[in-house]
C-alpha cells in the first residue's frame, strides 16, 4: 500500500513540476496537460518498456491519469500562489525525484535484475520524465548539465540496497531512501555543489 501511495505522490509532484514549466513557456491547456503527463510518467514508461512490462503501469491504472489531471487543475487554480514561490518547481521536482528512485529500484528487484541495473532503472524512472519535459520545452535537460541530479538518484539507489542488507522494515527503507535523495538534492543546490566539466572557462 505504501509503495502504491508513494507512486501516486511522485506522479502528482512531477505533474505539478511539469505544469509549472509549461506555464512558464506560456503553453495552452492541451500543452500544459501533455507536459505534465510526460513529466509524471515518461521515465516510468521508458523503464517498463525496457524490462518488457507491458502495457505500461499507467495504462493499467487510470488513477495515474486522474492524478495528473488533478495536478493540472490544482496548479492552474492556484497558479498565482505557486508562481510567487520561487522554489515551488524545485521542491516538487525534488520530491518526485526521491519517490520515483524507490519505485524504479523496487520494480527492478521484482523483475529479478542485478542491483546495478535496478539502480539504473531507479535513476531512469526519476530523471527521464524531466528529460522529456525539458526537450519538449526546448531546454537542455538538467541531468545533462553540471547540477547534481541523477547522481542523487544513484546514491539513493545504493542506500536502498545497503539498508536492505541490514534487513530493515520495507517502509523504513522507502522513507530513508527518499530522504537521502531529497536531502542530497537540497544540499547541493543550497551549497551550489556541481559536477566538474571538461570545458575551459570562457
Q: pLDDT digit of tens for each residue in the chain (202 aa)?
A: 777 888 898 899 899 989 989 998 999 999 999 999 999 999 999 999 999 999 999 999 999 999 999 999 998 888 877 666 556 678 888 888 999 999 999 999 999 999 999 999 999 999 999 999 999 999 989 888 767 889 999 999 999 999 999 988 988 999 999 999 999 999 998 888 888 877 766 5
C-beta separation of 182 from 94 below 8 A: yes
Q: Is residue 202 part of a domain?
A: no
How far apart CA 105 and CA 115 sit, in angstroms, is 8
How far apart CA 23 and CA 29 sit, in angstroms, is 9
Q: Is residue 74 part of a domain?
A: yes
Q: Is residue 195 part of a domain?
A: no
Q: Hey, what's the cell of 88?
A: 515551488
Burial class (CB in 10 A: 0-12, 13-18, 19+), 107: buried
Q: Is residue 199 part of a domain?
A: no
Which residue reads 522513507 in cell numbers? 175
Determine the structural domain holding residue 73 and report its residue range. 2-190
What does pTM read for this prediction? Answer: 0.89
Amino acid at each position: 500500500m505504501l509503495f502504491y501511495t508513494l507512486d501516486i505522490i511522485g506522479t502528482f509532484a512531477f505533474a505539478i513540476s511539469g505544469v509549472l514549466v509549461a506555464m512558464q513557456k506560456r503553453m495552452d491547456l492541451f500543452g500544459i496537460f501533455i507536459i505534465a503527463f510526460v513529466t509524471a510518467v515518461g521515465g516510468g514508461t521508458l523503464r517498463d518498456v525496457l524490462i518488457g512490462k507491458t502495457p505500461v503501469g499507467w495504462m493499467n491504472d487510470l488513477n495515474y491519469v486522474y492524478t495528473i489531471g488533478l495536478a493540472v487543475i490544482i496548479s492552474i487554480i492556484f497558479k498565482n500562489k505557486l508562481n510567487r514561490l520561487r522554489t515551488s518547481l524545485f521542491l516538487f521536482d525534488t520530491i518526485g525525484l526521491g519517490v520515483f528512485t524507490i519505485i524504479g529500484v523496487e520494480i527492478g528487484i521484482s523483475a529479478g535484475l542485478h542491483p546495478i541495473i535496478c539502480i539504473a532503472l531507479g535513476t531512469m524512472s526519476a530523471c527521464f520524465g524531466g528529460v522529456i519535459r525539458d526537450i519538449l520545452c526546448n531546454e537542455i535537460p538538467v541531468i545533462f548539465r553540471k547540477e547534481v541530479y541523477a547522481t542523487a538518484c544513484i546514491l539513493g539507489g545504493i542506500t536502498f540496497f545497503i539498508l536492505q542488507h541490514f534487513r530493515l522494515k520495507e517502509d523504513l527503507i522507502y522513507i530513508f531512501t527518499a530522504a537521502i535523495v531529497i536531502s542530497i538534492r537540497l544540499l547541493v543546490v543550497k551549497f551550489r555543489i556541481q559536477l566538474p566539466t571538461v570545458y575551459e572557462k570562457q
